A and B are shown apart, each in its own frame.
Chain A
Amino acid sequence: MFTQRKYYYPYISPFDPCRPIEVKSYETPPQLYIGFQPPSLPQYESPKEALYRGTLWPALYSPYRNPYERGDEQQ
């Protein structure tokens, strides 16, 4: 399944002083995949929805949440 968030597994040394984060992640938002926006992409239903999403087009929307809060980094 496609996800904007990508994961990697850093090398862990027995001498690392902090408790290791086994899985790290980073964002790859939609502008990296679009190239040149094609015409007539579907738009959000209302101006208010567009405003609160921060874009007029669902294809450009990039959700973001604190990864530490989601527990991603402890997977």
Chain B
Amino acid sequence: MTNPMPQEYYDLLEEIQAVDFVLVELTLYLDTHPQDYETIQQFNQYSQYTKQLKQQYEQLYGPLMEFGMSYSSYPWKWDNAPWPWQV
């Protein structure tokens, strides 16, 4: 992994953080408003969108999740820096 990370890394990460944040907000809202059909539709749209963004991210910078939630290229990249607190 390059050191330091390029600007494009920060931009894509920020995009993912923003979309995933909307999903966190919608999740907590739906936990107390389980009948809100429109919000569930919005939730599913963002859910699909974040999967696309993460696929793009993982091809460039390696897996975001472990235990089989992300595909692995060769060699195994999970251990590669940077870790979230380092960037």
Q: Do chains A and B touch in the complex (CB under 8 A)?
A: yes
Residue positions of A touching B, CB distance < 8 A: 36-37, 39-40, 46-48, 50-51, 55-57
Residue of A37, A46, A48 touching B29 (CB-CB under 8 A): A37
Check B38–A48 contact: CB distance below 8 A.
Answer: no
- Closest chain-A Cβ to B35's Cβ sits at a distance in Å of 9
- Does the CB pair B25–A40 fall under 8 Å? no
Contact at A47–B22, with CB atoms within 8 Å? yes
Tell me the number of A-to-B contacts counted with CB atoms below 8 Å: 34
| Beyond known contacts A56-B21, A57-B25: 6 more, CB 8 A cutoff | A37-B32, A39-B39, A51-B17, A51-B18, A51-B22, A56-B29
| Closest chain B CB from A61 CB (angstroms) | 12
Q: Which residue of B lies closest to A60 (CB)?
A: B25
Among residues 1 to 42 in chain B, which have CB atoms less than 8 Å away from a CB atom of chain A? 14-15, 17-19, 21-22, 25-26, 29, 32-33, 36, 38-39
Q: How long is the Cα–Cα vector from A39 to B18 in the complex, in angstroms?
A: 22
Given A48-B14, A56-B26: A39 and B21 interface contact (C-beta under 8 Å): no
B26 touching A47, Cβ below 8 Å: no
By beta carbon, the residue of chain B nearest A36 is B32
Provide 23 A-B residue pairs closer than 8 Å at the C-beta atoms, listed in order of the A residue.
Answer: A36-B32, A37-B32, A37-B33, A39-B33, A39-B36, A39-B38, A39-B39, A40-B38, A47-B15, A47-B19, A47-B21, A48-B14, A48-B15, A48-B18, A50-B21, A50-B22, A50-B25, A51-B21, A55-B25, A56-B21, A56-B25, A56-B26, A56-B29
